[in-house]
Chains A and B, each alone.
Chain A
């Protein structure tokens, strides 16, 4: 379980003035929950994710994972970034292998695991390609495989499908859901798409823009496994979309 308590973040701007990015975020995320963090750009939702990842220090408040305060990054929290952040000098195989070798997994065992992971994300044929030779959707699949390789209990996904075209995005959402159904990792999923948040999540936290505060948290009570074509006609799904869309629109006009 992740317990976030009174979390705030103040940045020093280049002008020297402090900028409050996150203000008093408190939320508990039970093990295995898929939580989306929804908000307009500039609301600090990515910063929140980076703090949970241990990449960026908080200014106030604390985060505990399974009762222990986090101290820096760790293999229990695996990030997936919008920009993929693949290692350009490594092949697809090398990228996915990295975490396993860091974890001290013997080479032959690690190679086998990489083959499984690449099969899972449908990239077996591209093992020896370099990231620059792949499409955006393929790159993000590699990034997801690279993170799943060291089996983190928590996935931190920072608008992972934000840079992809609509078709690829839908496809990857479904792939992510089927992976999640299998191992039920805790997922923190940052997005600015209401539709994506409702479709994927157990819970959606809506944030206010600048400084980012919690505006509301919705429990998404929809059947799983989720099938988009069926959901589109689901009355409750539509109501979630409308309610959250209204909340996001409200007061957010001055930020774009």
Chain B
């Protein structure tokens, strides 16, 4: 049992270890200057040092806060609108062209406008996360809800549930596996977008740390926020897996 888990872990991290190993080797061999590309071990050590620094933790916290609030809003809007569009033909018809036109827009291009409207602080960055993360959730909810086996709804209707009650007691839970997939995509998008927004204009957050380090040519400190956001994504992803395992217990996945 333990042997198998270990084997799976090694197999899982093999590609990563290989990449980091090669990177480390290149740096150690002196093939690149540490001022251009620091060794991964150096970045890890620097991150560990930074994690003990309250100032760094505050920056990290700001980023996490924006991701959390942005994702929560995107989920509420995406699931709500997706569900409404899938259950009501008129709403679906009205929204479809809107989604088709808005979804392909690179939302980061809206960021300057968002700053003008919402200021430099949290609001503009959260709005950007919502704008980017809402679409995968909305589309996943819509398609998941449309794919619900009609006989589930019929069974509930015969048992006395109204169409409206079916939306919440049958369609929503039946669409959860699909919604969950959308949410995981949205999670990754949120990590990328918040970082970009903080790089473009911010006085805090991981993205801001990277820009600040770059402006004073502190290469090592440039890589630390990158590593941090990568690990943050990994942790959030792990959290999502745990939540999914509980939430989707009855589904054959």
- B-binding residues in A (CB < 8 A): 50, 53-55, 72-75, 77-79, 81, 83, 85, 87-91, 98-99, 102-103, 130-132, 143, 146-147, 149-150, 152
Task: For the complex, give the distance between the alpha carbons of A25 and B152 in Å.
Answer: 27
- CB contact between A90 and one of B149, B250, B252 (< 8 Å): that residue: B250
**Measured CA separation A73–B154 after assembly (Å):** 8
Query: Can you name 7 A-B pairs with beta carbons within 8 Å?
Result: A50-B154, A55-B150, A73-B154, A79-B155, A88-B250, A103-B160, A147-B158
Residues of chain A lying within 8 A (CB to CB) of residue B68: none
Residue pair B158, A53 in contact (C-beta under 8 Å): yes
**Assembly CA distance A77 to B176 (angstroms):** 29
Closest beta carbon of chain B to A221's beta carbon, Å: 32
Q: Are A87 and B174 in contact (CB under 8 A)?
A: yes
B150 proximity list for chain A (CB < 8 A): 55
Question: Which residue in chain A gives the minimum CB-CB distance to B155?
Answer: A85
Select which of A72, A89, A102, A147 is within 8 A of B250 by beta carbon.
A89
Residue B112 at the A interface, CB < 8 A? Answer: no
**CB <8 Å contact, A132 and B160:** no
B156: Cβ under 8 A from any A Cβ: yes
Residues of A within 8 A of B149 (CB): 83, 85
A132-B251 in contact (CB<8A): yes
Chain B interface residues (CB < 8 Å from chain A): 149-152, 154-161, 165, 169-170, 173-174, 176, 248-252
User: Measured between C-beta atoms, what is the minimum distance from A141 to chain B in Å?
Assistant: 15
Is the beta-carbon distance between A98 and B159 smaller than 8 angstroms?
yes
Residues of A within 8 A of B155 (CB): 79, 81, 85, 87, 143, 146-147
- By a CB distance below 8 angstroms, the chain A residues around B158 are 53-55, 73-75, 77-79, 147, 152
Cβ-defined contact, B250 with A91, below 8 A: yes
CB of B152 to closest CB in A, whole Å = 5
Chain A residues with CB under 8 A of B152: 85, 87
Indicate if the CB atoms of B252 and A88 lie closer than 8 Å: yes
Given A88-B252, A131-B250, A102 contacting B154 (CB threshold 8 A)? no
A81: contacting residue among B151, B250, B252, CB under 8 A: B151
6 nearest interchain CB pairs? A99-B159, A85-B151, A73-B157, A130-B250, A102-B160, A89-B250
* Known A81-B151, A89-B174: A132·B156 in contact at CB below 8 Å: no
Closest chain A CB from B203 CB (angstroms) = 45
Bound: A150/B160 CA distance, A: 9
Sample of 10 more A-B contacts, CB < 8 Å, known A53-B158, A89-B250: A73-B157, A73-B158, A74-B160, A75-B159, A87-B155, A87-B170, A88-B174, A89-B251, A132-B251, A150-B160
Q: What is the CA–CA distance of A73 and B250 in the complex, to the nearest angstrom? A: 27
> How far does the Cβ of A193 sit from chain B's closest Cβ, in whole Å?
21
| With contact pairs A79-B154, A85-B151 given, residues A99 and B251 touching in the complex (Cβ less than 8 Å) | no
